[in-house]
Amino acid sequence: MRKTICSLGAFFGVLLTIAIPAVSAGQETARPITADAIRQAELLLGLEFTPAERQQLMERQRFFQDLAGLRESYGLIRAAAPDQSVMPALHFMPQPPAWSPPKTDLGPTWTHVGGALRPATLEDAAYWTIAELAELIRTRQVTSVELTRMYLGRLERFDPDVHVVVTLLEDAALRQAARADRELAAGRYRGPLHGIPYALKDLFAVEGYPTTWGAAANGFEQMEGTATVARKLEEAGAVLLAKVSLGALAWGDVWFGGKTRNPWNLEEGSSGSSAGSAASVSAGLVPFAIGTETWGSIVSPSSTTGVTGLRPTFGRVSRAGGMAVSWSMDKVGPICRAAEDCGMVLDAIRGSDGIDRSAVNVAFNYTPEVDWAALRVGYVEADFEGDDASAVLDRATLDVFRSLGARLVPIELPDRPVEALSLILGAEAAASFDVITRTGLDDRLPLQAVDAWPNVLRTTRFIPAAEYIQANRIRTLLGQDMAQIMTNVDVYLAPAQRGDNSLVTNLTGHPAISLPNGFTDLTSPNAITVIARLYDEATLLAVARAYQQATDFHRRHPPRFAR
């Protein structure tokens, strides 16, 4: 009789005691598969076979249909495995079968920023929003070259404090800025990102520069070409100043150059994995940056450093030209000062590119107005309980929404084994970083703790294919649950770093935005998230903007970096 004998926690607990020798690509082991080896594997996999069944498993059958044949097949697959840019044939699409996109893409309508005047000292504009800086450029009070030089100076001056810069693109940035100024002088204005500097998470390729993945250049993949997101931003007129840090292989805030620091408290890390993206915006080193999220990697550092981070719907933005952690969960999004800034960047980078098969063209009909009488706003009631400082701030946020006219509806998240479904991410990461694990490159990663990538990637090699498939089937049900919840509310609120909401919505692909909502002490920002229906970033950003119009938390910045 076969039966499951361990929970996910026990499963990982067993796996963490196993040491796995590094095996180079294509190398096969000659060690025989014995009944005792099978019995040990049963323990790891939560199965129980009889002695007779174990004997059958050891008998040679047709190729790939016995254990020895399967082991041989692994070598063939490893030898033929493509690079990270090739997605699996089975790929995730979050929309339900009956879903259809809006018929008309009218594009966004931005809030008009009038009367913006150049400050006496340009660096006093370092914390201005994209919209405000764009008005200075559009009205030719400031050139892109001037703005670029100002932010380059801040990057050079403050990087020793925050450790965000992997590669500074000074010469290329000044050339891009000069081109933007020439175009504007000739009457060509590309839109609100024209001449605006930005930073790019260093897991995206830019032709002519290294892509380190936060793991050091030696031995890790060097990506060719230019990522779609960087190409689209260049087409929108944005100026790339630097490739910035991420925790090694998109884990945390520790990379080969050290720990990226939280500008509010340099004794602390910035969280990750979009560590440099969030910290560079928080410290006023760039007006916006591009990050990625698989499970919290935009929302968490944005929350920690007190900035506004948008995680778009899965598939809104192409991942082409970027390092993959999980092909079915990775998302690309902007980290900015304000919600409408995030919309301006999203509008430039959204849409399909003919490379990333998950990327789709869906309307983005943003307008800043919110009809609170027609809008239904939910909140994850259980996650707002407690007496800690963060919970108090989060409940105060609910009061702000009530004052705006929102009718708040308590909701509950789906009752599924959500944490167990994180093995989906683990299995895909194990495949993505397969060569790194098998060749011993993982020994070069800066973090070697039990709960860091090297050990986790070894652990996740033991996830059975059947369990990965079953987890994805439950994920389908989770998506159906969320679709039902979102028939009752247009958006809902959840604390940024508490409860299951982050994992649930990363699995289902829903868009979210992290909004600063106060400080638990003088140097510890807190944040709330707003979640919307799939592809409805328009409503999401309008609601977020309304909250920020009623508060000033997004306008606050760490005093150390004021000038």
Same domain, 133 and 59: no
Evaluate whether residue 274 is within a structural domain.
yes
Residue 379 maps to which CATH number? 3.90.1300.10
Evaluate whether residue 43 is within a structural domain.
yes
pLDDT at 529: 98
Whole domain around residue 187: which residue ranges?
A: 122-416+473-561
Q: Which of 216, 215, 221 is nearest to 247 (CA)?
A: 215
Going by pLDDT thresholds of 50, 70 and 90, the confidence category of residue 87 is confident
Same domain, 164 and 253: yes
> For residues 547 and 401, is the Cβ–Cβ distance under 8 A?
yes
pTM of the model: 0.92
Same domain, 127 and 51: no
**Where is the domain boundary, 59, 81, 103?**
81
**Where is the domain boundary, 81, 107, 134?**
81
The tally of domains found in the chain comes to 2
Evaluate whether residue 199 is within a structural domain.
yes
For residues 36, 64, 82, 85, the Cα torsion angle rounded to the nearest 10 degrees is -80
Same domain, 173 and 228: yes
Evaluate whether residue 95 is within a structural domain.
no
pLDDT at 13: 35
The neighbour count for residue 121, using CB atoms within 10 Å, is 10
When the pLDDT of each residue in the chain is averaged and rounded to a whole number, the result is 91
> For residues 249 and 215, is the Cβ–Cβ distance under 8 A?
yes
Residue 22 has pLDDT above 50, yes or no: no
- DSSP codes joined into one string, 456-484: HHHHHTT--HHHHHHHHHHHHHHHHHHHH
**Where is the domain boundary, 25, 53, 81?**
81
Going by pLDDT thresholds of 50, 70 and 90, the confidence category of residue 7 is very low
Q: Determine if the peptide bond prior to 273 is cis (ω within 30°).
A: yes
Evaluate whether residue 512 is within a structural domain.
yes
> For residues 509 and 336, is the Cβ–Cβ distance under 8 A?
no
What distance in Å separates the CA atoms of residue 471 and residue 491, rounded to the nearest whole number?
27
What distance in Å separates the CA atoms of residue 316 and residue 293, rounded to the nearest whole number?
13
Q: Which of 26, 45, 30 is nearest to 423 (CA)?
A: 45
Radius of gyration of the chain (CA): 24
Element (H, E) at 234: helix 228-235
Same domain, 73 and 145: no
Residue 13, judged by CB atoms within 10 A of its CB (0-12, 13-18, 19+), counts as exposed
Residue 7 DSSP SS3 = coil
Burial 199-217 (b: 16+ CB within 10 A, else e): bbbbbbbbeebbbbbbbbe
Evaluate whether residue 519 is within a structural domain.
yes
Same domain, 126 and 76: no
Residue 25 has pLDDT above 70, yes or no: no
Q: What percent of the chain has pLDDT over 70?
A: 93
Same domain, 151 and 252: yes
pLDDT at 218: 56
Helices (H) and strands (E) in the chain, counts: 18, 15
Same domain, 68 and 202: no
Each residue's pLDDT tens digit, 442-487: 998 999 998 899 999 999 999 999 999 999 999 999 999 999 999 9
> For residues 446 and 213, is the Cβ–Cβ distance under 8 A?
no
Same domain, 60 and 151: no
Same domain, 187 and 323: yes
Residues with active-site annotation: 201, 273, 297
Residue 151 has pLDDT above 60, yes or no: yes
Same domain, 192 and 320: yes
What distance in Å separates the CA atoms of residue 282 and residue 541, rounded to the nearest whole number?
20
Evaluate whether residue 197 is within a structural domain.
yes
Same domain, 221 and 276: yes
> For residues 285 and 531, is the Cβ–Cβ distance under 8 A?
no
* DSSP at 26: T
Evaluate whether residue 491 is within a structural domain.
yes
Going by pLDDT thresholds of 50, 70 and 90, the confidence category of residue 103 is confident
> For residues 113 and 135, is the Cβ–Cβ distance under 8 A?
yes
